[in-house]
């Protein structure tokens, strides 16, 4: 399957000048907030794709995405770029699912969805995988191929490598929405509140998806798949998680770690049913 660039239509560039990157990023954030208010549940965990697809708000959003062709990402600060790619990842996921001829019951039914659903940004094509692994995870490989390759963007001359985060911020995993019911809630992020918002997303997700009972810690599959982003070993992973748990669970987990007792880590099944 070839790449599916959902903003292929190129707008007429006004006066031959480039679009202001921060201004466009803010406009896309506003469009997403409007879509969220009209077609997503209050908790951000479900999307009414059918109503959204046929709405004027969504059509306006699609027009804005065409302006991404002229966006100069190098003019965004690291914080602005991080917020931008989190928002665009989530909106591209929604756009990609809404663009399906028939809405799937699970995103897994759409062949190579994350590898082939793309936007053209600044003349470069970014798939969902490119945004997540290449940019937001600091050019780390997908967990499924980590034993085969060192980086997501494997070519040294790939211009997208210069846009990658200098290091991985594990909290982004609680901000990215893949279209499944087990995904984190959809939020819209700005550079001004990014750190605070990611802290909140981490606390909310870990508080809902992590449980400590005896010497057994049950976690989301996300924490299992991306364990290396959170620490070099299981103890470092659990220590990281503990900071984002409610007080009672935090105390239990900290006590387990300090006692040096064997800890069993289990993961709950991931619900891939479409978040609608």
> Strand 216-219 to strand 211-213: parallel, antiparallel, or no bridges (unpaired)?
antiparallel
Query: What are the tens digits of pLDDT across the range 56-102?
Result: 989 888 888 988 988 889 888 999 999 999 999 998 999 999 999 89
Cβ within 8 Å of residue 54, ≥6 positions away: none
Query: What are the tens digits of pLDDT across the range 96-130?
Result: 999 998 999 999 999 999 999 999 999 999 999 99
Q: Write down the pLDDT at residue 15.
A: 46
Q: Write down the pLDDT at residue 1.
A: 57
Q: Write down the pLDDT at residue 10.
A: 65
């Amino acid at each position: 399957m070839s790449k599916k660039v959902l903003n292929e239509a190129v707008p007429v560039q006004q006066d031959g000048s480039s679009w202001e990157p921060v201004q466009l990023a803010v406009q896309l954030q506003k469009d997403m907030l409007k879509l969220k208010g009209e077609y997503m549940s209050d908790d951000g965990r479900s999307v009414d794709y059918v109503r959204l697809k046929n709405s004027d708000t969504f059509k306006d959003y699609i027009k804005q995405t065409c302006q991404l062709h002229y966006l100069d990402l190098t003019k965004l600060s690291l914080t602005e770029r991080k917020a931008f790619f989190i928002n665009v990842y989530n909106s591209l996921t929604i756009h990609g699912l809404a663009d399906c001829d028939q809405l799937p019951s699970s995103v897994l039914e759409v062949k190579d969805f994350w590898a082939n659903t793309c936007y053209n940004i600044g003349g470069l094509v970014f798939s969902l995988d490119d945004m997540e692994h290449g940019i937001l995870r600091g050019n780390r490989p997908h967990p499924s191929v980590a034993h085969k390759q060192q980086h997501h963007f494997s070519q040294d001359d790939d211009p997208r490598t210069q846009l990658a985060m200098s290091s991985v911020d594990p909290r982004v995993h609680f901000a990215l929405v893949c279209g499944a019911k087990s995904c984190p809630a959809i939020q819209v992020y700005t550079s001004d509140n990014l750190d605070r918002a990611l802290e909140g997303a981490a606390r909310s997700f870990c508080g809902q998806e992590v449980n400590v009972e005896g010497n057994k810690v049950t976690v989301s599959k996300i924490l299992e798949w991306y364990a290396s982003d959170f620490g070099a070993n299981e103890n470092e992973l659990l220590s990281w998680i503990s900071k984002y748990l409610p007080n009672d669970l935090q105390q239990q987990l900290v006590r387990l770690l300090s006692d040096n007792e064997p800890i069993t880590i289990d993961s709950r099944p991931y619900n891939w049913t479409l978040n609608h």
